[in-house]
Homo-oligomer: A and B are copies of this chain.
Amino acid sequence: PTQFVLTLKCPDRLGVMARYSGCLHQHGAFITEVSHYGDPDTKAFFSRTEFDDRHMECTFEQFLTDFAELAHELDMEYQLRPVQQKPKLMLAVSRDDHCLNMLLTKWRSGALPVEIVGVLSNHDDLRPLVEWYGIPYHHLPISKETKPQQEEQILALLQQTQADYLILARYMQILSDSLCEKLEGRAINIHHSFLPSFKGAKPYHQAHKRGVKVIGATAHFVTADLDEGPIICQEVKSVDHRATVSRYVHIGHDIEAITLADAVRLVAEQRVVLNEGRTVIL
């Protein structure tokens, strides 16, 4: 049987779940994993279902048509795709390879259900590593003057490769507001601090100076409001007074790599839904 994943969001009204699960049931969807959440504050209902078609008697097209009708009626936003049709990622990097390496390793071992369609960078340093994995590398240099053109190139690249998501794996460039808007909900960044602590530059230096006893990393959706986008994952690790700034950085690299990889997996599995500045993880 073919495995499908369906993620949806709609206003939380009486009987939404019954309507929606009834529709799946009537069409013979065999549910293998399910997760719901209703937010009492935002009055929104969120759901993610994995199912297969082993008992489906109608055609899948018929199912799609009927489901679309229900979705319309319930003001639903949804994503429905076969599990094996993996989301396409474009990665953006600068010179540090710890996040990139984690994503590539996990992707190659099968732990990350994605297709990596390319890596773009403002530097050429990581080309050999990327090409070793058989992935196209795009060197898109940037300067203050050429920033608008370079961002045009990024957009063109995303379009050509039909990338679903842009993953900023320590890209170190601030995207323009206009690009952020165009990529809303599709661009994910790893910030090297436990947000909202230590926004902005050199967060490990800031953290060291402040003498915190725990450091962390935050994977979040990119929004025009820098470092304020909805948080997907956060991980932390204890440090003590003996740790130098350089040790903070090394510890931080581990946390960043794991946090970003985890966020990418959750997004790739359609487990992350936006909920007014926050995320729901299903």
Chain A residues at the B interface, C-beta cutoff of 8 Å = 14-15, 17-19, 21-22, 24-26, 28, 30-40, 55, 96-98, 101, 105-106, 108-109, 111, 128-129, 132, 194-198, 209-214, 216, 230-236, 238, 240-242, 244, 250, 253-254, 258, 261, 275, 277-281
A232: nearest chain-B partner, CB-CB: B213
Minimum CB–CB distance for A98 against chain B, Å = 6
Cβ contact within 8 Å between A214 and B194: yes
Query: In terms of DSSP, what is the predominant structure of the interface of chain A?
Result: mixed
Known contacts A241-B279, A253-B111; is-contact A233 B216 (Cβ 8 Å): no
Contacts of A197 in B (CB 8 A): 194-197
Given contacts A194-B194, A258-B258, 16 further A-B contacts (CB under 8 A): A15-B25, A17-B25, A18-B21, A33-B242, A34-B38, A35-B35, A98-B106, A101-B101, A128-B132, A209-B277, A211-B275, A213-B233, A240-B281, A241-B275, A241-B278, A241-B281
